[in-house]
Amino acid sequence: MKQVMLRNGISVPAIGQGTWHIGDDPRMHDQEVEALRTGIDSGMTLIDTAELYGYGKSESVVGDAIKPYDRSKLFIVSKVLPQNAGRKNMRRACETSLKYLGIDYLDLYLYHWRGSIPLSETVECLQELKDSGLIREWGVSNFDTRDMNELARLKYGENCVAVQDLYHIGSRGTEYSLQPYLRKNNIAFMAYCPLAINGTLRGGIIGNPVLQQVAAVHNASVQQIMLAWAIRGGNVIAIPKSATKEHTLQNAAAGDIALTDEDLKILDKAFPAPDREVPLDVE
């Protein structure tokens, strides 16, 4: 599995595991645990979840899945809701997530999206959690370049190690200014929905003849090409969700696909990068 180096020197897999909707149906529990363990065994040791996902149900499934593994070999990410991202509730929210996960610390804790609590207060609380050892690092989600510039001006703002936003071949807005900003400041970029699984563009992407052509050349699925494309630059962490062992294995195999310059050229033509600042996509 290809790796991405974080600013703190920790190496994480370029393809991790997302868990949105994991835990929603109790009848799927054993299958979802098997899928997550298959991912871990395949090198996808980064698992992303959030207190929002089933309000603890997703974190609980992740906790069951990781029980047999050496905690130090895993990279567990969760997220705090905007209404809990202040001095009144953040520590309690973090401790609740840890309880559901059955672990003592998070490798990365993300502010899920901006709410009414001042960003300065949120950042101070995140830093306090890090200083207390409940989290190793912190970051943000659904932030654009303007948000990041505001964050950088705050006390402790320079300690943000990761940004998680929607990113896939049909939604490339973050390439215009945000991703260059993150590379310049050595901040990791995490791509959620890299398969456009919840996006309105999904139908047009999956059926695109150019993607299908590239997939055929590599004896791969369109979804595998989308994942290989997302991590092509070596500095993006994709977190596709899978609820089955078979799908998880397909996701893991995408990490071994090496797209050629010609592949990238024709994909760029079919799915052009933006030539101006565009609003941040969330679906």
DSSP 8: T
Give whole-number Cα distances, 173 to 105, 166, 206, 271, 275, in Å. Answer: 33, 9, 19, 11, 9
Is 275 in a helix, a strand, or coil? coil
CA distance 129 to 187: 19
CA distance 154 to 116: 17
Question: Could you tell me the maximum CA-CA distance found in the chain, to the nearest angstrom?
Answer: 54
Question: Of 40, 41, 23, which is closest to residue 32 (Cα–Cα)?
Answer: 23
Question: Of 141, 139, 66, which is closest to residue 108 (Cα–Cα)?
Answer: 139
CA distance 222 to 209: 10
Cβ atoms of residues 232 and 259 within 8 Å: yes
DSSP 53: G
Residue indicated by tokens 């069951």 = 64
DSSP 241: B
Annotated catalytic residue, options 53, 100, 109, 192: 53
Please give the structure tokens belonging to residue 224.
């595998």
Please give the structure tokens belonging to residue 88.
């009144």
55 catalytic? Reply is: no
The catalytic residue positions are: 53
